[in-house]
Amino acid sequence: MSTKQNAQASQHGSFTLERVYDATPARVFAAWASAEAKARWFAGPDEWAEAGREFDFRVGGREYVKGRWKSGTTSTFDARYFDIVPDRRIVYAYDMYVDEAKISVSLATVEIAPQGGGTRLRFTEQAVFLDGYDDAGSRERGTAALLDNFGRALAQASAPA
């Protein structure tokens, strides 16, 4: 395939991840809905440093997170919220950039439901990867790591001081 064709290529992918957390649906939802709580778990790994963050959690609101890797490469998450049902569901769409290149556009759905004494969270993402960008599963692995961070943040918030 020529470079010109790659510049117009798109690849589609989707995945669903589930986790059960030892927290109420209200606490799980609040950890997505609060700027302070979300900043505790929605971040890159140690070799990544935050370079900008905005958070307006409402239908039509924007969430923006930019970071710089030790290599100097930047990554940017730029989202809009489309549906929010407290303690039950969050739907948002977002663009991802590496440096200035848009690499993907995604629709993400977070479903929250009681399960036993805790909460089941189901995260579904449908993505289109743009212009020859080969995700090779890194989006799913990165999201899984964020959901693991989320669980640790919930546990730390409920631990006695």
pLDDT one-digit tens code per residue, 46-81? 899 999 999 999 999 999 999 999 999 999 999 999
Helix (H, G, I), strand (E, B) or coil at 91: strand
1-12 confidence digits (pLDDT tens) = 334 445 678 999
Residue 30 has pLDDT above 80, yes or no: yes
Tell me the fold of 3-44+84-93+103-158. Answer: Alpha-D-Glucose-1,6-Bisphosphate; Chain A, domain 4 (3.30.530)
Q: Within 10 Å of residue 114's Cβ, how many Cβ atoms?
A: 12
Please give the angle made by the CA atoms of 118, 124 and 129, to the nearest 5 degrees: 150
Q: Where are the domains of the chain?
A: 3-44+84-93+103-158
Query: Which one, of 26, 24, 156, lies nearest residue 87 by Cα?
Result: 26
